[in-house]
Amino acid sequence: MKKIIIAIDGYSSCGKSTFAKKIAAERGYIFIDTGAMYRAVTLYALRRGWIGSDGKADTDSLVRHLDEIRIAFRYNPQREASDLYLNGENVEQEIRTIEVSGHVSAVSQIPQVRERLVKLQQEMGREKGIVMDGRDIGTVVFPEAELKIFMTADPEVRAMRRFRELSEKGEKVSLQEITENICKRDNADVTRKISPLRKAPDALVLDNSRMSVAEQMMWVREKIDKLVR
């Protein structure tokens, strides 16, 4: 069977990464979490004090030090998934905090950051056989992808999913705080000047508001099989 590129875009907390990981594992493809890459840059900026209390990033400082940021994915057999390493440190848990979530949209809007990460993502997908999720995969990173999926779900459903995820990790956050964070991110993602979140003309829409992961997998298997046979 031929290998293809599967590009998954959509709103935050739609379960894109979980969905993409399952597809990759089932097909023997490489999963690349682009959102995690932007989260890693955001974490780096937060640690260096380059994001102020007003939420604005010190773009000049971050851009000057972009070459110091090294990002890699390494398979974790305990999770049966890849962890993200920032300059050799496993930061998979830290990049998922509400603090990083609240600032990642601002960092991802910096042109030089996007240029650096998009180039890296394109290099990762050169041999195909990958599943990549993010905000601009089907429109900017891989407009030639054989299968493009645009994921969406009701904001209330996404907020509850995120609340449960963080609660299971022991983080004390309110559902209201998460809902506000999701709405803020949605607005930032669709209105940013560079690579805004939008559906590619040939993308298939997957609204998983009331779908189980198993039902989503049944849906995508049919789409992939038509392309690789």
Domains detected in the chain: 5-210 (3.40.50.300)
pTM as predicted: 0.78
What is the distance between the alpha carbons of residues 182 and 187, in angstroms, rounded to a whole number? 9
Pick the more confident residue, 53 or 139: 139
Phi and psi at residue 134, in whole multiples of 5°? Answer: 175, -140
Predicted confidence at residue 220, as pLDDT, reads 97
Tokens of 16: 């894109």
Question: Per-residue DSSP letters for 120-188?
Answer: HHHHHTTT--EEEEESSIIIII-TT-SEEEEEE--HHHHHHHHHHHHHHTT----HHHHHHHHHHHHHH
Instruction: Please write the tens of the pLDDT for every residue from 40-93.
Output: 999 999 999 999 888 889 999 999 999 999 998 887 888 777 889 999 999 999
Instruction: Please write the tens of the pLDDT for every residue from 188-197.
Output: 899 988 888 9
